[in-house]
Amino acid sequence: MTGRPGSDGRGGVWKVFLLVLILFSLIITPFSPVGATVPDNHHNVLLLHSYYDGLSWSDDVTDGVCSVLDGPEQDVDLYIEYMDMPRVDSPGYAEKMLDLLKVKYAGTSFDVIICSDEYAFHFLREYHDDLFPGVPVVFCGVNYFEDSYLDDWEDCTGIVEAYDVVGTIHAAITLDPDVRRVYVVNDRSETGLSNQKVIERAAEEYRGRIEIISPAEQSFDQTLEDVSTLPPDAVVLLMTYYLDPDGTSYDYAEVISDVSNASSVPVYGVWNIYLGEGLIGGRLTSGREQGTAAGGTALRILEGESASTIPIKKDLQGVYTFDYHQLERFDLQESDLPAGSIVINAPKTAVEIDRDVLTVVIFALVILLLLVTFLGYTVSVRKKTEIALRKSEEMFRGIAERSFDIIFITDAEGRYTYLSPSIRRVAGYDPEEFVGKSYFVDLDENWRKIVEEANSALKGGNAVEGVAVSIRAKDGSPRYLEINAAPIMIGGVVTGIQGVVRDVTERREMEQAREEAYAQIDRNIAQFATLGDEIRNPLSVIVGLADLNCTEEDTERILEQARIIDEIIDRLDKGWIESEKVQAYLRKRG
């Protein structure tokens, strides 16, 4: 491969090299959307099809229109309607379609109308002023067009479907110079009548050289019978056959399949919708090309141009395109095709590559290989990190699930995001009953104030320890808890709280029992002191009375017993003192 005449070829190579570097930089650099300019105005556009949704030609036209009007810079709502012709071609149908569109779009204002193919075009020629007065129209897919069609119709322009029948016949003769007859398959629908006018012009050009046979008002069955008996010097030119004279409608795929199977000679055409279904080829026009051109014209109108100042486009005559399988079927040589022809379904062949281009490609592949290696290493590191993180999480979860204490995590708003299963043992609740709830739930005002103070410290970035609170277990019994917690900090911001809650109910109950025991001891000691006084007072009276009223022997006996009682009281007093020492020791050690 060499460069263009007048160049050394290396400039193109370095352009390729530069393109590779740009692509490489795009691969390794994160994509950042660039702000697009928002159109000043919103627009409504109606696309009116002659045929039906699902027909390849109609779908291709729609794709072409959307490729222009659905861009990020456009603010366009595209409405699509199908007239479903010629499948529905009953008397009065056009008037009913008129009434339907009037009702359907009574409240919608359109900026442009795009119509595709003959039926929609001639429908708007007749009813445009009734339906959409003053709205500019862009037509496409119109097979036969005369300038007089736009007399008294301003703001209308479009794209003529200038398919090249002469070019297709020329291709057939080029491939087989013995061709002398062209048998035309065409119906008498509105599109077919437009086709017939184009066929008549081609017949004039080939008069005396090629016989063009175009049967009138012939059924599809009769057409298949004709093409099955054509002589070797004939070819078939498939135009459109949507409608039989008896009103039977046909799908394009069904038509090309039946005609190709019945024909013993090549079937040529002018539309790419038949390609790959049995058509050998020709100079083929595409619906997408028509739609794209119509969308571009509509966009010009939306941007401010007047439709009447935009010339009608009549030169979209298609590209020579052929099917390798059909060429091989009829033993026709690819080398005889018109220059610039495209061949589909061709077997892959070896391609010669310029050495400099190959060098750039290899260099690009090496860079891509290094990139893939780097990405592979990154992925490997990430996987190892994920495995380590998963193990860490599993370890944490194992510790949390086996812990007797409650381990908890909250978000920045104090809502629980995790509670360990030990909450079941402590309070009888399942963790799921608290997840998503605030840690202020079920707290009375006294405990709420304590928790609010702790929460304020945590939000300030400080840890808290030994915060005592009380809650009600699920069975209604009280549970005394002790909380140790710390904030979770990310980038200096508190994003959550984590901590441990210990059940101290048993310890609290023991402390209460001990306090009650101390109180009882205090009461007992006081009773000891009182008891000594209460006994000594009557004892003194008894001793006094004995001295006055009893014999010496009886007095001595009473005094002896009094001494014994006094010794007992002394021992009680000594016991009270010892009890106070024991009590002081217990309080000190307790």
Choose the weakest-confidence range: 180-189, 377-386, 487-496, 557-566. Answer: 557-566
Q: Is the pLDDT of residue 515 over 80?
A: no
Q: Is the pLDDT of residue 16 over 80?
A: no
The span from the CA of 500 to the CA of 478, in Å, is 19
pLDDT tens digits, 295-322: 999 999 999 999 999 999 988 878 999 9
| More confident call, 453 vs 263 | 263
The span from the CA of 330 to the CA of 342, in Å, is 18
Give the residue-averaged pLDDT of 508-528: 74
Residues 228 and 337 in one domain: yes
Q: Please give the structure tokens belonging to residue 365.
A: 């592949």
- CA–CA distance from 19 to each of 75, 165, 364 (Å)? 32, 41, 10
pLDDT at 33: 38
pLDDT at 115: 97
**In whole angstroms, what separates CA 533 from the centre of its chain?**
94
Q: Is the pLDDT of residue 95 over 80?
A: yes
Residues 123 and 189 in one domain: no
- 17 within some domain: no
Q: Is the pLDDT of residue 166 over 70?
A: yes
- 358 within some domain: no
Give the residue-averaged pLDDT of 345-358: 73
- 21 within some domain: no
The span from the CA of 451 to the CA of 443, in Å, is 9
Average pLDDT of the chain to the nearest whole number: 83
Q: Is the pLDDT of residue 27 over 60?
A: no
Residues 183 and 135 in one domain: no
List CB contacts of 446: < 8 A, sequence separation 6 or more. none
Split at pLDDT 50, 70, 90, the class of 529 is low
- CA–CA distance from 563 to each of 67, 162, 576 (Å)? 126, 147, 20
Q: Is the pLDDT of residue 409 over 60?
A: yes
Residues 151 and 47 in one domain: yes
- 46 within some domain: yes
Choose the weakest-confidence range: 130-144, 352-366, 540-554. Answer: 540-554
pLDDT at 3: 35
Give the residue-averaged pLDDT of 494-515: 84
Q: Is the pLDDT of residue 36 over 60?
A: no
Query: DSSP letter string over 33-74?
Result: PPPPPPPSS-EEEEEEESS-TT-HHHHHHHHHHHHHHTSTT-
Q: Is the pLDDT of residue 267 over 90?
A: yes
Give the residue-averaged pLDDT of 319-327: 95
| Range among 190-204, 293-307, 445-459, 541-555 rated most confident | 293-307
Residues 96 and 240 in one domain: no
78 three-class SS:
strand
- 291 within some domain: no
**In whole angstroms, what separates CA 221 from the centre of its chain?**
50
- Which of 455, 477, 503 is the endpoint of a domain? 503
Domain assignment of residue 570, given as a range: 514-589
DSSP strand pairing (156-160 vs 181-185): unpaired
Q: Please give the structure tokens belonging to residue 45.
A: 């556009």
Residues 239 and 110 in one domain: no
pLDDT tens digits, 478-492: 888 889 999 998 888
- 177 within some domain: yes
How many folded domains does the chain comprise? 4
Q: Is the pLDDT of residue 525 over 90?
A: no
pLDDT over 70 for what percent of the chain?
82
| Length of the chain in terms of residues written | 590
| More confident call, 525 vs 564 | 564
- 307 within some domain: no
Q: What is the CATH number of the domain that holds 466?
A: 3.30.450.20
Residues 175 and 322 in one domain: yes
479 three-class SS:
strand
pLDDT tens digits, 420-449: 888 888 888 888 888 888 866 666 666 778
pLDDT at 288: 93
Give the residue-averaged pLDDT of 523-529: 67
User: Which stretches of 201-345 are assigned E, i.e. beta strand?
Assistant: 211-213, 234-238, 267-269, 281-284, 319-323, 342-344
Q: Please give the structure tokens belonging to residue 312.
A: 């009608």
The span from the CA of 49 to the CA of 39, in Å, is 27
Question: Phi, psi (5° rounding) for residue 394?
Answer: -65, -40
Q: Please give the structure tokens belonging to residue 360.
A: 């750039």
Residues 478 and 523 in one domain: no
H-type alpha helices, 278-354: 287-302, 324-329
Residues 79 and 93 in one domain: yes
pLDDT tens digits, 547-557: 666 677 777 77
The span from the CA of 279 to the CA of 276, in Å, is 6
Split at pLDDT 50, 70, 90, the class of 122 is very high
Q: Please give the structure tokens belonging to residue 428.
A: 């009888």
Q: Is the pLDDT of residue 349 over 80?
A: no
- 293 within some domain: no
pLDDT at 589: 58
pLDDT at 578: 63
pLDDT at 306: 95
pLDDT at 385: 77
- Which of 130, 160, 190 is the endpoint of a domain? 160
Residues 324 and 184 in one domain: yes
Residues 247 and 193 in one domain: yes
Residues 205 and 329 in one domain: yes
pLDDT at 105: 95
Using the 8-state DSSP alphabet, how is residue 437 labeled?
A: S
